[in-house]
Amino acid sequence: MDAPNKDFAFAGSLDELKVKGRLVVHGRHRPILVIYDRGRVFALDNRCPHMGFPLERGSLDDGILTCHWHHARFDLESGCTFDLWADDVPICPIEVRNGEVWVKTTFGHANPAAHWRQRLADGLAHDLGLVLAKAVHGQLAADVPRADIVRQVALFGAQNRDGWGVGLTILTALANLLPFLPEEEAYLALFHGARRVAADCDGEAPRRERAPLESRPDPTALKGWLQRWSNVRHREAAERTLLTAIASGLSPPVLADVLLAAETERVFADTGHSLDFINKAFECLDLIGWEHAPAVLPTIVGQMVAARGAEESTAWRQPADLVALCEETASQLPDLFAASGARQGWSDHATLARELLGDDPVRIVDAIKAAVRAGAAPADLGRSLAYGAALRVARFGTANEHADWETAHHVFTFANALHQMLDRIGTAADGVAAVRAVLHGAMALYLTRYLNVPPAHIPGENGERLDDLPADADTILATLLDAFDRQRQVDLAARLVARHLSLGHSPRALIATLARAALREDAGFHAYQMLEAGVRQFTAWGNTDASRHILIAVARYLAAHSPTERAALQTADIARRLMLGAELHQEAGV
Ligand code: FES
């Protein structure tokens, strides 16, 4: 008997199927379960879409197939699940000809990109990790651009909770890293971003949109209004003002200046998270397109106006009043910048960074003022601050409490965000109000000086050769991943990073390895921030001593927080194997 066509495989005779009830067709394709039920024949993927358990072992009742592992239930005819966490099971066409049953061995969708886009929407709406992983994998396999996936997730996150959250920050941080990531890590990055956004939105009320004012005041008035509304914590007024600024066509650099002026009305607000979230919202729009600014940018206003500033904190007031010192210095900045002019070529970033690590707050602000007089632009100050904060992490003494890693981390990610924002503002606005944040960051850095008492040794300094470590790049990176597999390998991780870079091996390969180390873990929010901020700062410094110190800081932080259970990696791996048609479990006889 001829096959219906070459895509079909012979499953058995109809009589045999009637007697046995079910048959499994094996071959180079995925295993296919053929079922006879109440006079009809059905065929579906034999691997449960949840975790791959063979469905041939399931039970059938009233047209409902139940997997016997976690008891997910499926409509036999369509393969659709009654239990969303399990996902739908793919079905395949059958033909019965002259008493023989043939099944089509290829599964697929007429429009894979559209199918997986809808599944990503479903996974986000119901916080379904496995569905999200498959949808990301399916879209990548259908050649959907990575930026399109980021856009879909970002817009969902902006619309389905009342304000910017950790998930959107993670999504943006990981999306920023995509150019450094090979295929497998890109899949993991997008999956982690999607699952964290979905988790953030789970059970949340959707966001209610507000409208811009119908007038179009000038940027100076809008900037002043936003500062006013932030000061008095008037969220609705602040959102309408920001929407008006967007509707007025203010450029992203000017919007950055307007927002930082309002944000810096409070000192180091929410231990730096508020400013970091603002920067991430800007970076998100760089990735997904500024036409989405009205949907995305106002989401950061709620946290900004509600944030608690350090001016309410005792540590900032006694024994030295650091807030007063910042205010006095900030009042001098306009004249200092005006006097220095727009000089180009100031390059003492590393020197200033080391001065910022001093133990006298007055000398620290004097160093900042001296840098401005010498021609440092606001973005230069931000870059020095970020490097100083990275050195704090690189020298973090492991005798400190483990939770203090986060104290050091907060200053670094704040400083990186500030550097990015000041760089964005550039010369598009005066940015002087925004520079107050440099003073705030410098004082936050000063307050963490105890974290470097005693300072940890930075490997590779002064010609230290580290010859006890491997020399080959692949071996170094494999050893580094192995170090992240064990607890308390902070110093070894730092030494391996120093070894890799001092031998002139590829920084990109090292960054990809650090990303792999983070992406395979159930990493916390801060680990993603640390990694991305470190890569940002690394690229600002090129291949220098400073960039080596920055990646050492990243590696030390990641090593201090590894390994974890890796449950998300297991979900991603199951999804990947199911999508690729692999058999996850050995089938048993019927
Ligand atoms: S329900 Fe089938 S493998 Fe979990």
Distance 79 CA to ligand 1 centre (A): 14
**Atom number of ligand 1 nearest to Cα 70:** 1
Q: Alpha-carbon distance 576 to 104, whole Å?
A: 22
Q: What is the largest CA-CA distance in the chain?
A: 95
Q: Alpha-carbon distance 180 to 146, whole Å?
A: 13
The pLDDT of residue 477 is 98
| 418 neighbors 438 (Cβ within 8 angstroms) | yes
State if residue 585 touches ligand 1 by the CB under 6 angstroms criterion.
no
Distance 123 CA to ligand 1 centre (A): 17
| 91 neighbors 33 (Cβ within 8 angstroms) | no
Pocket test of ligand 1: the residue of 33, 45, 53 to mutate, having most ligand atoms within 8 Å of its CB, is: 53
Name residue 423's amino acid.
Answer: D
Protein residue with its CA nearest to atom 4 in ligand 1: 70
**Atom number of ligand 1 nearest to Cα 72:** 1
State if residue 69 touches ligand 1 by the CB under 6 angstroms criterion.
yes
The pairs formed by 571-575 with CB atoms below 8 angstroms and a separation of 24 or more are 571/129, 571/130, 571/133, 572/133, 572/187, 572/188, 572/191, 574/51, 574/52, 574/130, 574/133, 575/130, 575/133, 575/134, 575/137, 575/191
The pLDDT of residue 35 is 98
State if residue 67 touches ligand 1 by the CB under 6 angstroms criterion.
yes
The pLDDT of residue 7 is 85
Q: Alpha-carbon distance 531 to 517, whole Å?
A: 10
pTM for the model: 0.94
| 542 neighbors 584 (Cβ within 8 angstroms) | no
State if residue 86 touches ligand 1 by the CB under 6 angstroms criterion.
yes
Protein residue with its CA nearest to atom 1 in ligand 1: 70
State if residue 47 touches ligand 1 by the CB under 6 angstroms criterion.
no
State if residue 574 touches ligand 1 by the CB under 6 angstroms criterion.
no
Which of 36, 287, 20, 329 lies closest to 174, judged by CA? Answer: 287
Distance 136 CA to ligand 1 centre (A): 21
- Give the pLDDT of the chain (590 residues) as one tens digit per residue: 455 567 899 999 999 999 999 999 998 888 999 999 999 999 999 999 999 999 999 999 999 999 999 999 999 999 999 999 999 999 999 999 999 999 999 888 889 999 999 999 999 999 999 999 999 999 999 999 999 999 999 999 999 999 999 999 999 999 999 999 999 999 999 999 999 999 999 999 999 989 999 999 999 999 999 999 999 999 999 999 999 999 999 999 999 999 999 999 999 999 999 999 999 999 999 999 999 999 999 999 999 999 999 999 999 999 999 999 999 999 999 999 999 875 678 999 999 999 999 999 999 999 999 999 999 999 999 999 999 999 999 999 999 999 999 999 999 999 999 999 999 999 888 878 899 999 999 999 999 999 999 999 999 998 898 999 999 999 999 999 999 999 999 999 999 999 999 999 999 999 999 999 999 999 999 999 999 999 999 999 998 999 999 999 999 999 999 999 999 999 999 999 999 987 676 544 43
DSSP sequence for 54-79: BGGGSEEETTEEE-TTT--EEETTT-
Distance 131 CA to ligand 1 centre (A): 13
Pocket test of ligand 1: the residue of 33, 44, 50 to mutate, having most ligand atoms within 8 Å of its CB, is: 50
